[in-house]
Chains A and B, each alone.
Chain A
């Protein structure tokens, strides 16, 4: 068996496979399919200061090799999370990364502060990129100064590993990456969903109740790989790459582009055991390619030596 452990700075994971925020709830629904302790980490759905009911239905529209969603950060709020969901995740043996969101800088800070009082959270992931909440994400994720303010504010109250999740809905993602690293982000995760829209040609209505939503799934993978590669060139912090992972080849692609770990998101919906299966398949990939550690793949795009010969 190959060595699957990875270090994202001081955040150590037993393997690089995590599940993406918003696709895995707080773990309960998938725990009947496998032990959550088998994953590198569970990244929770976004937690906000107060309960949020989310956007009006319909919230889903399937598109070619992808889906548009406009959930709108529906969650029970940080107090409920601390009382019910975090203890559950801890009992499950999962490494827990909590995704946080807010409408204002103060809300982000308040959630982070409240979570800093709890035990058993491996890292926070600051969601500055939800495209479905007008006040609560996208503006923080698309303006470098706002992104810095949120990051710095959370940094002041959260002593543990700090991940900032970047939005792809920007002209220059490297600029945003540098800005949040400067403000204290230790790890970057990307990409969040790409804003999109679908219209029903019969009813002439938008397919989503929110009109616009976030696109995910294999349809966005090339955009995500490109952005991970760009960010890996721009900053020195570790990256959690995601966007359309449905097979082990996708995991390898993200690692080669420069990610140290990956998140499986929309793929969970299709195959509930996907993330767990990918842990074993990555091990197999390493073995069949005569590799002993995940590290040997990270950022190695274009450095395959004479591997090209196997394809001629």
Chain B
């Protein structure tokens, strides 16, 4: 059922990134990699039908009754979401979708830009399970890595990469994956979320290095529950999967990494 949840925080972190924190009952059962479908409009105003659709956001973290979300303003939906204030109510549907398949293997978490969102919750869970993990986060600039501090809460094994070198190493996050992966004594499982070209590059690496890799895909969604087939992505076997209901997390090897998902 949709829940009308209370906003506790909706804070600009810099670099167009925001952290939204809610008090929610229904999200307490969320697992890392699942997402929540939000109506961005104010619940206090008369209804408007524009933007029409909900906006899907991965669960960023979950601590008792507090669920948090990391998002970046990319269009009119997220712009409206950024206008919501603490104390206001927000209409949400979730948790939705399938999360990461957490194995016993040591883990390498790789986040590109705001794609880091589902990885914080994963880091939280891995820490609870006392599993070894390393986090590798990349973005264009230091400003766009405003969320990096949140990860420091769960690990000291945090590597940062920026395209302009303003913080951490200079380059693309994918440039450093082979090097970091090689430092594990036991072969790691990779968990990644970020832009499609980054994921495609990681898929190629995972295949070459024979490492397991779960990717969390981003897609425009309508229903969010698997009914409309709008967020379809192409599978290697020629069939389609629904990012919302069959994903958003997929083992990389089932996906078609050709142009069709681009």
Selected from B221, B234, B239, the residue in CB contact (under 8 A) with A60 is B221
Contact count band on B: 20 to 34
14 extra A-B contacts, CB within 8 A, seeds A57-B234, A74-B232: A23-B223, A23-B228, A24-B227, A54-B240, A57-B232, A58-B219, A62-B77, A67-B52, A247-B47, A269-B53, A270-B49, A270-B53, A271-B2, A272-B93
Residues of B at the A interface (CB closer than 8 Å) are 1-2, 39, 47, 49-54, 77, 93, 219-234, 238-240, 245, 260-261
A62 to B222 CA separation, bound complex (whole angstroms): 9
**A 199-221 to B, binary, CB cutoff 8 A, 1 in contact else 0:** 00000000001000000011000
On whether A25 and B261 interact (CB within 8 A), knowing A60-B220, A247-B47, the answer reads no
Contacts A/B (CB < 8 Å), 14 sampled:
A25-B228, A29-B227, A54-B229, A57-B233, A57-B260, A58-B219, A61-B220, A67-B222, A217-B49, A269-B224, A270-B49, A271-B2, A272-B2, A273-B2
Give chain A nearest CB distance to B68 CB in angstroms. 24
By the criterion CB–CB under 8 Å, are A56 and B260 in contact? yes
CB < 8 Å neighbour of A62 from B51, B225, B226, B240:
B51
Sorted nearest first, the 5 A-B pairs with minimum C-beta distance are: A25-B227, A29-B227, A60-B230, A269-B222, A65-B50
CA distance A272 to B238 in the complex (A): 30
Q: Which of A25, A57, A268 has the most CB of B within 10 A?
A: A57
Q: Secondary structure of the B side of the interface?
A: loop
Q: Which residues of A contact B228 (CB under 8 A)?
A: 22-23, 25, 69, 71, 269
* Contact in complex: B1, A33 (CB < 8 Å): yes
CA distance A246 to B53 in the complex (A): 12
Cβ of A266 within 8 Å of any chain B Cβ, yes or no, is yes
In the assembled complex, the Cα of A23 lies from the Cα of B238 at a distance in Å of 23
Count of chain A residues with a beta carbon within 8 Å of a chain B beta carbon: 37
Residues on A close to B: CB < 8 A?
22-25, 28-30, 33, 45, 53-54, 56-62, 64-67, 69, 71, 74, 209, 217-218, 246-247, 266, 268-273
